[in-house]
Structure 1
Amino acid sequence: MYYIKEAAQLSGVSVKTLHHYDKLGLLSPLKSENGYRLYSEADLERLQIILFYKYLGFPLKEIAELLAQEGQDLLPHLLRQLQSLEQEKERLDILISTLRKTIQAQKGERKITTEEKFAGFTYEAHRSYHDQAVEKYGQAVVDEAIGRQAGQEEQVTAAFNRIFRNLANNLQQGLPAAAETNQEQAAQLLQTIRRYSFDCSLEIFAQIGRGYAANPEFKENIDQFGAGTARYTADVIAVYVQKQGE
């Protein structure tokens, strides 16, 4: 058994944070007769799970719900976290490669294509997107998306990048959102979401489109293809959804 200061030193978590976890019912160790918190090995294993989820961007409320669903069995959490971290590693490897190529291009050591500049960037490249996706669409939808993308991360990245790049080019050419080529890109985007993420309805697709322009992180990411691309994409999707609903 470990006193709270020992548990804090072992885990790198502050005593104040452990008190907070106990208050939330997230990690409640045994109490001695004099009121001291005593942490068992099982408590520390649970703390490890909590810290992994925090690193992956999960809010404490959702971590509590996930832990409650599985009861005392920690293995499903470990497997889920391993899968998420492995996917993140693959995305980071792509981004590191992209950054190295860009640095080499800036030094004049090589040329870099437009496609290579954006390798590794997708509309869900940030971990915090996970929280927003769960909040909007539910954990089951997000889990389905993760499962569909497993082992296909590069294909997913390329598919989304291709669409956003095409839309950015159309924006530069001054094409209206309702232009046929833009509506074709919207249809491809919806098909790509359905293939690699979840069975997206037109209503949810409309919400996603609005999020591209309204959410600062989505907007910043998509606008890397060209200033205004996020707003333009949102407009293209809005027209597409309206036409499909007619």
Structure 2
Amino acid sequence: MKPPLLLLHGALGSAAQLQPLAERLAADFDVYPLSFGGHGGQPLDAARFTMTHFAAEVSYFLAERGLDHVHVFGYSMGGYAAILSAATDPGRIRSITTLGTKFDWSPETAAEELRMLDKEKMQAKIPQFVEQLSRTHAPTEWHAVVDATTAMMRELGEQPVLNELNLAQLSIPVQVLVGEQDRTAGVEASRQFAAYLPEATFEVLPNTPHPLERVDLAALALRIREFAGANG
């Protein structure tokens, strides 16, 4: 029987974002992709579009399916939700691998991220990405997802829900991966937050930026497979 593996997408993404990775891991795991509320066609409720609620969705998803000792891979925002879920509802998650997860939230770092979520500039400068967002989140309007993400990031900047104290209490293995060229998560910030985790490993992936489509998926799948195998 294959161990279960939950895949969690990043901001503005959906479960479909992780399908190529899922295909590489399907021979070794029972893979469960999850689209958070408001993403990938899921109904958007602005009051529930928060990191705290996304973490609760992870717990509910696992409980509803009776899944225990689950390995989790979270890309970017998905990694944050995974760790928060494990910290607030311990027992179901066996190990977590994160990639490109931004742990360092403050009003200043949030402001940097929010500059990239200007809807008018997005339409003018990256219309193909806007069209992709429209397809990914239909029937929800793409700009509603951007607005909700903006509010979520602003809230995280004002009140980060992961900190040195609760990370230090997390007693499961966590593999923190960050790209050498990832300016969103940041190598040194990722290293600092990994140091708060009692059972963390930390690795910088060479020549790797933040976008998942530019990550070497074969190498990523290998790291997930080996880490889960070592912590089964």
TM-score bracket relative to the smaller structure? under 0.3
TM-score by length of 1: 0.24
Q: Whose relative contact order is higher, 1 or 2, with alpha carbons under 8 Å and at least 6 apart?
A: 2
Greater strand fraction, Structure 1 or Structure 2:
2
TM-score by length of 2: 0.25
Look at both structures and tell me which one has the larger radius of gyration over its CA atoms.
Answer: 1
